[in-house]
Structure 1
Amino acid sequence: MSNSDDSRARDRLAVMAGIDVDNPELRRRLDAISARTAERLHQPVSLVSMVLDTAQFFPGSHGLDGWLAELHGTPGEWSFCATAVRTGRAYVVPDATIDPDQATNPLVTVDGVRSYAGVPVIVDGHVMGAHCVLGFDQHTFTPADLAELQDGAAEIGELLQSYRRGDTPA
């Protein structure tokens, strides 16, 4: 990683650290956006992820169960969302079981995730994580699906910005 990449990563994590992600009202609102997205895209799971350097956590979710619901996160190397963070673009996996980057991911091999679509969540010009949906069946995501995710991600970015530590939420 170059010095400028290190600096960008530090700046991104500093922005993230300034957001009160433990605020119960923020989490309720992120859960509501996730539930709306899951319903509109007809997918069982929708998340708001925040990607750290070695892990991701979910301050907002709908449809999680088992260990994912208990921990609200995964190791970074298992994160589909990390690709959206790294590239700053939508990341779509119609069938993870045959995807060369995801086929051996424990979320696929153990937990049965089969499809994924996620778009970056941006605060202050930094990609914090992704707004995504996960499915347990192969799924082709349409441009309309990605537009719905984009709309949700924009709303999430504004919401996260309004929950900066020391600020009063809008």
Structure 2
Amino acid sequence: MHPRDQDPTAIPHRYAVLADIDLDDPELRHRLDAIAERTAQRLGQPIGLVSMVLNTAQVFPGSYGLQGWLAEMAGTPIEWSFCVNAVTSGAPYVVPDATTDIKQADNPLVTIDRVRSYAGVPIIVDGAILGAHCVLGPDPRAFTPADLDELRRGADEISALLQAYRSR
């Protein structure tokens, strides 16, 4: 499901919550980067992200391990987003081997940038699913319940942090 296909009554609240957070605040970004780094290191993955899913793109206000164009752009088109699946389902989304996954095998992040594994959990603020806290890697990987618990702890910390940076 695409974010624009979600329950139309939920979308205005989601975007109102997102608009109420200054994602460009340098201290907030520094703290989000630290959470992304800690989670990636604990899970042994080279990339950790805090992703905010918009209607046509995802942006990364917090990241660790990004290189090249992904680091420069700090986001992707929504069509390339793994995280959109955690947002639209409201549940963890796991891809052990993206090259064999029917949803992801043709994704440019897989075919060009060589992402092979992904695990992400929703980030929820004031009842709105804003994005996902995730890790990505260049090798296939089976993520365990303990891995998802670690992602959830990070997502809960991110949610509290974003709530603290809300202007209302």
* TM interval, short-chain normalised: over 0.9
Q: Give the distance between the partners of 1:71 and 1:10, measured in 2 at CA.
A: 26
Aligned residues: 165
How far off is 1:84 after superposition? Answer: 0.2
Structure 1 segments unaligned to the other structure (5+ residues):
none
Name which of 45, 49, 52 aligns with 1:50: 52
Alpha-carbon distance between aligned partners in 2 of 1:152 and 1:22, rounded to the nearest angstrom: 20
Q: CA deviation at 1:7?
A: 2.0
2:112 to 86, 110, 114: 110
In structure 1, the partner of 2:66 is: 64
- Quote the offset at 1:165 in angstroms: 2.5
Residue 100 of structure 1: CA displacement? 0.2
Q: Does 1:120 align with 2:103?
A: no
Deviations, residues 94-132 of structure 1 (Å, cap 9, x unaligned): 000000000000000000000000000000011000000
Partner of residue 91 from structure 1, selected from 88, 93, 110: 93
| Structure 1 counterpart of 2:39 | 37
The answer to whether 1:24 aligns with 2:26 is yes
- SS of residue in 1 equivalent to 2:48: strand
**Aligned runs of 1:6-21 on 2, under 5 Å?**
6-21=8-23
- Partners of 1:53 and 1:9 in 2: how far apart? 10
Amino acid at match of 1:82: V
| 1:120-168 deviation digits (Å, cap 9, x = unpaired) | 00000110000000000000101100000000000000000100126xx
1:75 corresponds in structure 2 to 77
Could you say which residue in structure 2 is the equivalent of 1:155?
A: 157
Please give the alpha-carbon distance, in whole angstroms, between the structure 1 residues aligned to 2:61 and 2:82.
16
RMSD over aligned CA atoms reads: 1.2
Partner of 2:147: 145
Identity among equivalent pairs (%):
65
Give structure 2 stretches of 5+ with no counterpart: none
- TM-score when normalising by structure 1: 0.95
Letter in 2 for 1:60: G
Separation in 1 of the partners of 2:131 and 2:43? Answer: 19
Give the 4+ runs in structure 1 shifted more than 3 A: none
